[in-house]
Structure 1
């Protein structure tokens, strides 16, 4: 963001380095203005003007392309939501469109309070890169910088660069575009730097001896399903029976569960095995289960209405490996039992094979226990090592220190509510802090680029659009350009407000 102002006393003195600090308090807004950076920025912009002009010319292409893509995706997303709502009202098949990019972040709700410093630092870095782009681009074009302002609006830090309006008005459209697109371009460069830094950390981890060690929980959202069971500092050994070696493995395990629904949770075709109980409750049988390894399980022979089980128990279907798959629905109900899930997951895993004489293989047993799930649910066993258990840190490979946490629900919620890092050594903690800072900086910088490329009044997108139309001034009169700009900004601002409101409603739901 930048602000154009008229020159003071008819002329601006670019080398005036007098320090002027003023503050303005107005409700939840506070700002400081200073001219102390004017000389340094103007010097560097003028000295490397040739290189900077080439650099910011690439930014013009990126900014215009991002504006078109962002506006098109916004139209498609809103159109998809409208179509989805209409099809639900008319009873047609629902069409799910996922185009939401910007997400509302509220500390203590969907972001842990201990991550707030990373968010604030990420905002400062992203805003600094953005405004530095405007300042350097203006200096390379010979446009004086009046002052730099730092503000705090509703406890959110920000900044702006005030440029001389008279100097801006005499620039050609392409030179103006270099200045207006510079902030977006620098945000994109910041995102690229964060991404490459994250890749670099991933590449140096093997040399630091951090592989083949349990991952540590760095943060967990307060609304996470595992809140109260996990806490920062705990180690996660495996999820869904898969050993975790890198933080990204946590996401890949659940992403594979979501994408490969026909392998884990059959909902269509012949594999849609559902049990009809009282009150018309339908459950799906997972094709991934556990062999019956003990006769000491507490089995409730009577199924409660609606396939409800007591606390810490879940309904399981006992499938005989010698029988075919899918089972006979007329007699399947007598093989459903309520069992303690934490005891079941201690047994060896088994999976159902369709079209085979032996539908499952269980050594020492002839039955496989398969969880009964609601549509869209997943059965996930997360094996953790608690840090607060007495003497656990002094004993290696002690099974007493390991616990099984059973999760049944939406894997997307579980996946995004927990963040992992490497071993809890000083180096691992430092690496985790740097990774968190890079991730938040990447997210904030990308959000700034998207917002400022939007066709919204008083943002960079308005100036970019005006200068873009200025390239066609030879055949597009000024009055028509102004009319097109006003209409486009009105439509873009309305769509942006609608999309943000929809995001807020979805967040509340």
Structure 2
């Protein structure tokens, strides 16, 4: 709800600013004192706002693209042109592999999901689970994992995701632009658009010039965008592996991190992310340092946070309790121990040798004085018993630096899902957290690889369908239509009709598989 309000206010702000900024037609000639920036903006850039779509289209970069095309056409740049041509020829090969791989994977996961759902109803199908980026789980039934803020990842990741998507799409369009300059195809405009919260970049080529090229040349321009995304992914993977190797041998990474971030692993773990819909929002904030969970100290280099909160990672926990009045415990009832939904007013406690009883947990668990803590019967006085919350009580204590003790009542793994922690805290307020930079690095790899595969699917308006058409023209050039001299009506040749029908068959077949797969996923999650 909070994120929805922010998005709504943003679009209201965009509409108001656009309406106020929109220039009005002047009745009299304008003065020459108009700023050069404003005149450049009005001459080369168009801003369009349509309900939830913001589109900025400009011709300011057309001349730069023309200069690049002229330089590549110059005889002095023959060697450079040869290398660039070879580079984008590799892009065509990668595009063909990506197209086949994308359709093949889509066909496999759709058939697999269909067989599992229809013919093997006993097989469990898991639904979406909220996790951080590093915790997304994969299996054969859930090969495609959509990244949806607020559903599969926290809302706090949305700005990082948008920056990664915008950067990868800019790299994608840059590939089309450079390959277009290689064959002197002028661009009409370029720009950015934002639909609700989804950013995108675009470049518009001259359709007439593109149509005049042969199939192979068009293939290089079309495949250049996905090819740039694949090259970027390879560079990110190699750079990441190299950074890990350099860090292990020299430790220079730790030195660089220490300049902007402080290692607080000897104190605990710092909160770097918190779900908007978490009930802990009222007592915790990003930047707080959690020092302990129950009696487990987080002041350790090991990831005790995940070990203790994740039930899949068992951990040996010592038994520590509290000394309470023997009379008070014996007079207490044990009815709450039978309740399936206990409350914090009366929580079930178990004792060493005195059964179970219902007590108010707040005054007991809030005590941190060592003289009231016990590990065995002899640790308490004769008029006291050693008690601890029953294992079915689902209560957990969070010790936060500089704050009172926080009592959590519920499954422990919910804290692990809703709160993201790290061992490094920024030294200054304007420095992002190390976890945020790590998330951006992961999202950058996921986004650029996804753009490579998704854009090569043979769907309408995507690079895959245009690449398929260009490749078919290269294998067997076809004059798709001719103009009848008498009627003036375009007539399709037989070969052109079959080519057009084949392209539509592939497009609608791919779209049908995607629709079927999404329907099965929704059906499985109900």
Q: CA deviation at 1:335?
A: 7.0
| Cα distance in 2 between the residues matched to 1:429 and 1:440 | 19
Instruction: Say which of 48, 57, 60 aligns to 1:33.
Output: 57
Counterpart check, 1:460 vs 2:489: no
Q: CA deviation at 1:84?
A: 4.6
Q: CA deviation at 1:67?
A: 3.2
Q: CA deviation at 1:449?
A: 3.1
* Partner residue, 2:200: 158
Say if 1:290 and 1:344, in contact at 8 Å, map to a contact too.
no
Say if 1:151 and 1:157, in contact at 8 Å, map to a contact too.
yes
Counterpart check, 1:94 vs 2:124: yes
* Partner residue, 2:149: 105
| Cα distance in 1 between the residues matched to 2:166 and 2:99 | 24
* Partner residue, 2:501: 483
| Cα distance in 2 between the residues matched to 1:314 and 1:294 | 14
- 1:68-107: per-residue Cα shift (whole Å, max 9, x none)? 3333333344444444543686xx3435522232233369
| Cα distance in 2 between the residues matched to 1:106 and 1:63 | 33
Say if 1:49 and 1:141, in contact at 8 Å, map to a contact too.
no
- 1:155-195: per-residue Cα shift (whole Å, max 9, x none)? 54322111123333344444333222222222234445555
Q: CA deviation at 1:468?
A: 4.0
| Cα distance in 2 between the residues matched to 1:319 and 1:60 | 73
Instruction: Say which of 250, 253, 264 aligns to 1:204.
Output: 253
Sort the Cα spacing of 1:403 and 1:207 in 2 relative to 1 into closer, same or farther, 3 A. farther
| Cα distance in 2 between the residues matched to 1:191 and 1:368 | 56
- 1:310-345: per-residue Cα shift (whole Å, max 9, x none)? 32877788899xxxxxxxxxxxxx977778599499
Q: CA deviation at 1:463?
A: 1.4
Single out whichever of 290-299 and 148-157 deviates more from structure 2.
Answer: 290-299
Sort the Cα spacing of 1:255 and 1:405 in 2 relative to 1 into closer, same or farther, 3 A. closer
Aligned residues: 416
Sort the Cα spacing of 1:237 and 1:189 in 2 relative to 1 into closer, same or farther, 3 A. farther
Q: CA deviation at 1:447?
A: 4.0
Single out whichever of 72-81 and 459-468 deviates more from structure 2.
Answer: 72-81
* Partner residue, 2:17: none
Instruction: Say which of 344, 348, 360 aligns to 1:311.
Output: 344
Question: What SS does the aligned partner of 2:221 have?
Answer: helix
Question: What SS does the aligned partner of 2:335 have?
Answer: coil
Sort the Cα spacing of 1:222 and 1:126 in 2 relative to 1 into closer, same or farther, 3 A. same
- 1:96-146: per-residue Cα shift (whole Å, max 9, x none)? 522232233369x9643x655434433331221111111112212332222
Q: CA deviation at 1:232?
A: 0.7
Say if 1:250 and 1:415, in contact at 8 Å, map to a contact too.
no
User: Which structure features the higher share of helix residues?
Assistant: 2
Say if 1:292 and 1:365, in contact at 8 Å, map to a contact too.
no
Single out whichever of 488-497 and 430-439 deviates more from structure 2.
Answer: 430-439
| Cα distance in 1 between the residues matched to 2:376 and 2:505 | 74
State the TM-score, normalized to the length of structure 1: 0.64
Single out whichever of 166-175 and 214-223 deviates more from structure 2.
Answer: 166-175
Question: What SS does the aligned partner of 1:296 have?
Answer: strand
- 1:449-468: per-residue Cα shift (whole Å, max 9, x none)? 34313232111121123234
* Partner residue, 2:270: 216
Sort the Cα spacing of 1:154 and 1:34 in 2 relative to 1 into closer, same or farther, 3 A. same
Question: What SS does the aligned partner of 1:122 have?
Answer: helix
Sort the Cα spacing of 1:363 and 1:425 in 2 relative to 1 into closer, same or farther, 3 A. same
* Partner residue, 1:296: 324
Sort the Cα spacing of 1:29 and 1:318 in 2 relative to 1 into closer, same or farther, 3 A. same
Sort the Cα spacing of 1:88 and 1:194 in 2 relative to 1 into closer, same or farther, 3 A. same
| Cα distance in 2 between the residues matched to 1:141 and 1:179 | 9
User: Which structure has the greater CA radius of gyration?
Assistant: 2
* Partner residue, 2:286: 232
| Cα distance in 2 between the residues matched to 1:106 and 1:402 | 28
Say if 1:150 and 1:158, in contact at 8 Å, map to a contact too.
yes
Say if 2:321 and 2:388, in contact at 8 Å, map to a contact too.
no
| Cα distance in 2 between the residues matched to 1:257 and 1:72 | 37
| Cα distance in 2 between the residues matched to 1:229 and 1:292 | 25
State the TM-score, normalized to the length of structure 2: 0.62
| Cα distance in 2 between the residues matched to 1:438 and 1:180 | 27
Q: CA deviation at 1:291?
A: 1.8
| Cα distance in 2 between the residues matched to 1:73 and 1:219 | 34
| Cα distance in 2 between the residues matched to 1:173 and 1:303 | 77
Sort the Cα spacing of 1:311 and 1:251 in 2 relative to 1 into closer, same or farther, 3 A. closer
Question: Pairwise mapping of residues 314-353 of structure 1 onto structure 2 (< 5 A)?
Answer: 343=365
* Partner residue, 1:277: none
Counterpart check, 1:57 vs 2:89: yes
* Partner residue, 2:419: 418
| Cα distance in 1 between the residues matched to 2:508 and 2:320 | 65
| Cα distance in 1 between the residues matched to 2:392 and 2:111 | 33
| Cα distance in 2 between the residues matched to 1:23 and 1:429 | 33
Instruction: Say which of 29, 38, 45 aligns to 1:21.
Output: 45
Q: CA deviation at 1:220?
A: 1.3
Question: What SS does the aligned partner of 1:419 have?
Answer: strand
* Partner residue, 1:178: 220
Sort the Cα spacing of 1:32 and 1:381 in 2 relative to 1 into closer, same or farther, 3 A. same
Sort the Cα spacing of 1:58 and 1:364 in 2 relative to 1 into closer, same or farther, 3 A. farther
Sort the Cα spacing of 1:191 and 1:250 in 2 relative to 1 into closer, same or farther, 3 A. farther
Counterpart check, 1:493 vs 2:511: yes
Say if 2:88 and 2:179, in contact at 8 Å, map to a contact too.
yes
Question: What SS does the aligned partner of 1:454 have?
Answer: coil
Question: What SS does the aligned partner of 1:490 have?
Answer: helix
